[in-house]
Amino acid sequence: MMVRKMIKAITFDLWNTLIGEKDYTSLRIGHLLESLDTQNSAPDEKVIRQVYTSIEDLWRPYSVGQYRFVSVKERVEMILKKLDIKIEQDPKLAIVRDFEEVILKDPPTLLDGVKSTLESLYPKYPLGLVSDSGFTPGRILRKILQSLGVLKFFNCTVFSDEVGYNKPSPLMFSQALKLLKVQPKETIHVGDLLETDIAGAKLAGMVSIWIKRGKRRSNGKSFRPDYEINRLPEMLPILEKLTSFS
């Protein structure tokens, strides 16, 4: 009897799929306030927070035309423009660096069951990571994954700041498929966001698993996952079912 694997590779989202998401807004605002104070042009902290919050929606992947990734430099410039503050290039780049690296002061941790699940899958499947970067570029996120002891499990890591587009752009997923050398229908993508992970995987022609954690699914057709789970280890029985015998 021969075993035929219908699924040959697996890709994962990062935030709230493998690691817990944290809010670094206050830390970034603190860095910005300190930097602007050095430049003798610091507005009130309350004003900075209002500006930061008012344009936050513009940075969401599905709010930007064609899902283009908006760099941290662009984001900082948007904030400064709305604050009507002009500073030299070097101080501006220092703010950008602070925004990117602030996560290292209080790194996120792995979610329950993640490491054991990756350890179980690693010998059997090529694994990939497909993640939006936001304020934290791939070069920093790889450092965090390395420190958490899980970077070694991934055959490829694809981040939106390096591709130039956010999920659900098919370009994010096609890059991972290319690096893993597999076809979309042979690959499962696992993620927690319907509008980016599930919609993007469907656009790319991949099988999708939604980590819902008690959330209700949207009725939108493009957001309908193939499978639903509450915790990452629950994907293991699904993979067993997708292995057929012939």
Q: How far apart are CA 186 and CA 165, in angstroms?
A: 23
Q: How far apart are CA 96 and CA 31, in angstroms?
A: 10
Residue range 65-71: average pLDDT?
80
Q: Say yes or no to pLDDT of 64 above 50.
A: no
This prediction has a pTM of 0.91
Q: Say yes or no to pLDDT of 57 above 70.
A: no
What pLDDT does residue 44 have? Answer: 83
Q: How far apart are CA 94 and CA 97, in angstroms?
A: 5
Residue range 69-79: average pLDDT?
92
- For residue 211, give every residue at least 6 positions away whose Cβ sits within 8 Å of its Cβ, in sequence order, or none: 16, 17, 190, 191, 192, 229, 230, 231, 232
Composition of the chain by helix, strand, coil, percent to 5: 50, 15, 35
CB 61 within 8 A of CB 132: yes
| Strand runs labelled E in 93-196 | 127-131, 156-159, 187-191
Q: How far is CA 32 from CA 6, 17, 35, 190, in A?
A: 50, 30, 5, 35
pLDDT digits (tens, 9 = 90+) for 103-149: 999 999 999 999 999 999 999 999 999 999 989 999 999 999 999 99
Q: Say yes or no to pLDDT of 243 above 90.
A: no
Confidence label for 27 from pLDDT (cuts 50, 70 and 90): very high
Going by C-alpha positions, the residue among 225, 233, 238, 175 that lies closest to residue 196 is 225
| Residue-wise DSSP of 119-144 | HHHTTTS-EEEEE--TTS-HHHHHHH
Q: Where are the domains of the chain?
A: 3-22+108-245, 25-105
Residue range 66-80: average pLDDT?
90
| Residue-wise DSSP of 21-82 | ----HHHHHHHHHHHHHHTT----HHHHHHHHHHTGGGGSGGGSGGGB---HHHHHHHHHHH
Q: Say yes or no to pLDDT of 67 above 90.
A: no
What topology is assigned to 3-22+108-245 in CATH?
A: Rossmann fold (3.40.50)
Determine how many CB atoms are found less than 10 A away from the CB of residue 120: 14
